[in-house]
Chains A and B, each alone.
Chain A
Amino acid sequence: QKEVEQNSGPLSVPEGAIASLNCTYSDRGSQSFFWYRQYSGKSPELIMFIYSNGDKEDGRFTAQLNKASQYVSLLIRDSQPSDSATYLCAVRGNDMRFGAGTRLTVKP
């Protein structure tokens, strides 16, 4: 079992729709949870981090954390073609573990 699992996608949504990206993790002692966006050929950039159960909103992005279910998600509202990228979930326990990423395509 991988420590951080994501659906590889591709996930395709129309412009203006809500994109929902999911991530599960195996280490119950994990403390912090991160979402990174990575455009093709570029390095990852941090979108959001969340520590506590519940929702955290930042503009069009909402991160959701459920530690009991070991589940973290990212919602992107009003998706734009510029949101097309690979989204990496990262989980911090004793170190930082990344998922393999979900490729998102937003179609105009």
Chain B
Amino acid sequence: EAGVVQSPRYKIIEKKQPVAFWCNPISGHNTLYWYLQNLGQGPELLIRYENEEAVDDSQLPKDRFSAERLKGVDSTLKIQPAELGDSAVYLCASSLQGSYNEQFFGPGTRLTVL
């Protein structure tokens, strides 16, 4: 069974540029999460989807961050414009619907903003 797929794995951009991250969850997992992880810190939830509905986006900085999961499968997280402080690892995770019990994490995208 394929795991959570994320791309790109690494991204280097200049500040004020846009950037997008893509995630494909494990087949059959209706719940999808985007986390941000800074060095030496635990993951912080940005947004959680149940199918195509964003059920928790309270921690998403909506002035510059946006996310979508149009068909309830793949998801894209976008930052526009990126700031220096956005440098971090962006993790996508998925789980069976309504369950935090066993989240499977993707490999993450390491973003560097110069």
Please give the residue numbers on chain A whose beta carbons come within 8 Å of chain B beta carbons, in ascending order.
4, 8, 32, 34, 42-46, 49, 88, 90, 92, 95-101
Docked-complex contact A98 and B43, CB < 8 angstroms: yes
A43 near B44: Cβ-Cβ < 8 Å: no
Docked-complex contact B106 and A43, CB < 8 angstroms = yes
Contacts of A90 in B (CB 8 A): 42
By beta carbon, the residue of chain A nearest B41 is A100
Interface residue tally of chain B, by bracket? Answer: 20 to 34
Choose among B45, B100, B104, B108 the residue with the greatest number of A CB atoms under 10 Å from its CB.
B100
B91 touches A43 (CB 8 A): yes
Once A42-B107, A44-B43, A100-B40 are accepted as A-B contacts, the answer to whether A49 and B101 lie under 8 Å apart by CB is yes
B21 touches A (CB below 8 Å): no
- Complexed CA–CA distance, A100 and B56 (Å): 22
B21-63 vs A: 1/0 string, CB under 8 Å? 0000000000001000000111111001000000010100000
